[in-house]
């Protein structure tokens, strides 16, 4: 039912100077936010912030790989996208595992830090989303970049909602629920990227 199953029209492969410039900007944004959120998540005792920081790290590596394979064959680009899909699933598994562990530790996160850093991360991710909006329907390599940025923006909104809920309830459970939600989002995006990458690899072989 989706365009993934149609091989009639070639998809944008990222081979443009403008797209490469946009990727460099987004790589810098995500690298800086990984450092900021990792430190803030540790200081605040927030699993949701730490999960989001890992997402920033994963995105930085993802965008770097996307930039590296631009201009290579469809098989190489699809293989890179497949690896990125698998890495998204791995991050989701880590977030889920650490969240389950946190249930038995239950350190109270600091909602004021969660909210402030969540707002900063949301601004960074919305900037990335707007920069990448026009490229969201490209091949698996290009599309994976868009999905990562979209996930970040959704995750940051969820972190801010969790901060408000933690402050209101005085309990850490909202933070844990958001971390589980983000893990599910990673798994869903991983499936999307992997399916499109496998289709493009099969199309390359049959073509």
Question: Is residue 164 domain-resident?
Answer: yes
Average pLDDT, the chain: 76
Domain assignment of residue 43, yes or no: yes
Give tens-digit pLDDT for 58-106: 778 878 888 888 888 878 888 888 887 888 788 788 777 776 666 565 5
Number of domains in the chain: 1
More confident position, 118 or 65: 65
CATH no. for residue 68? 1.20.1510.10
Tokens 């998204």, residue?
88
Q: Specify the pLDDT at position 5.
A: 38
**Does 85 reside within a domain?**
yes
pLDDT tens for residues 126-160?
A: 898 888 888 777 777 777 777 777 777 877 787 77
Query: How far is 140 from 10, CA to CA, in rounded Å?
Result: 12
Does residue 186 fall inside a structural domain?
A: yes
- Do residues 86 and 45 lie in contact, with contact meaning Cβ atoms separated by under 8 Å? no
**Maximum average pLDDT range among 28-32, 83-87, 110-114, 128-132:** 28-32
User: Averaged over 112-120, what is the pLDDT?
Assistant: 77
Note the Cα 65 to chain centre separation in Å: 14
- Here the tokens at position 20 are 């490469």
For the chain, percent of residues with pLDDT exceeding 90: 5
Residue 95 tokens, joined = 């977030």
User: Considering only CA atoms, which of 56, 27, 61 is closest in space to residue 40?
Assistant: 56
Q: Which domain holds residue 149?
A: 14-206
In a domain, 189, yes or no: yes
Higher-scoring residue by pLDDT: 4, 192: 192
Given a cut of 80, is residue 179 above it in pLDDT?
A: no
So what's the pLDDT on residue 2? Answer: 36
Q: C-alpha angle 143/137/62, rounded to 5°?
A: 10
Q: Identify whether the C-beta of residue 99 lies closer than 8 Å to the C-beta of residue 197.
A: no
pTM: 0.66
Q: Distance between CA atoms of 83 and 2, rounded to whole angstroms?
A: 22
pLDDT for the residue 107: 57
- Flag whether 132 is in a domain: yes
Question: Residue 137's CB: how many other CB atoms inside 10 A?
Answer: 11
- Cα–Cα distances (Å) from 43 to 60, 88, 113, 133, 156, in that order, read 22, 25, 8, 33, 18
Note whether residue 99 is domain-resident: yes
Q: Domain for residue 152, yes or no?
A: yes
Q: Which pLDDT belongs to residue 63?
A: 84
């Amino acid at each position: 039912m989706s365009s993934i199953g149609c091989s009639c029209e070639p998809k944008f492969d990222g081979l443009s100077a403008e797209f490469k410039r946009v990727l460099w900007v987004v790589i810098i944004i995500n690298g800086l936010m990984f450092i900021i959120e990792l430190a803030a998540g540790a200081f605040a005792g927030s699993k949701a912030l730490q999960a989001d920081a890992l997402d920033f790290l994963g995105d930085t590596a993802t965008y770097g790989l996307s930039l590296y394979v631009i201009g290579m064959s469809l098989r190489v680009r699809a293989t890179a996208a497949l690896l990125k899909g698998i890495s998204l699933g791995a991050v989701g598994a880590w977030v889920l595992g650490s969240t389950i562990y946190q249930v038995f530790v239950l350190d109270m996160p600091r909602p004021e830090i969660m909210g402030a850093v969540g707002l900063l991360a949301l601004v960074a991710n919305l900037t990335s989303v707007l920069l990448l909006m026009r490229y969201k329907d490209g091949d698996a390599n290009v599309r994976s970049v868009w999905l990562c940025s979209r996930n970040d923006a959704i995750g940051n909104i969820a972190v801010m909602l969790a901060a408000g809920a933690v402050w209101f309830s005085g309990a850490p459970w909202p933070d844990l629920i958001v971390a589980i939600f983000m893990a599910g989002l990673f798994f869903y995006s991983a499936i999307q990227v992997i399916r499109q990458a496998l289709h493009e690899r099969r199309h390359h072989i049959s073509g």
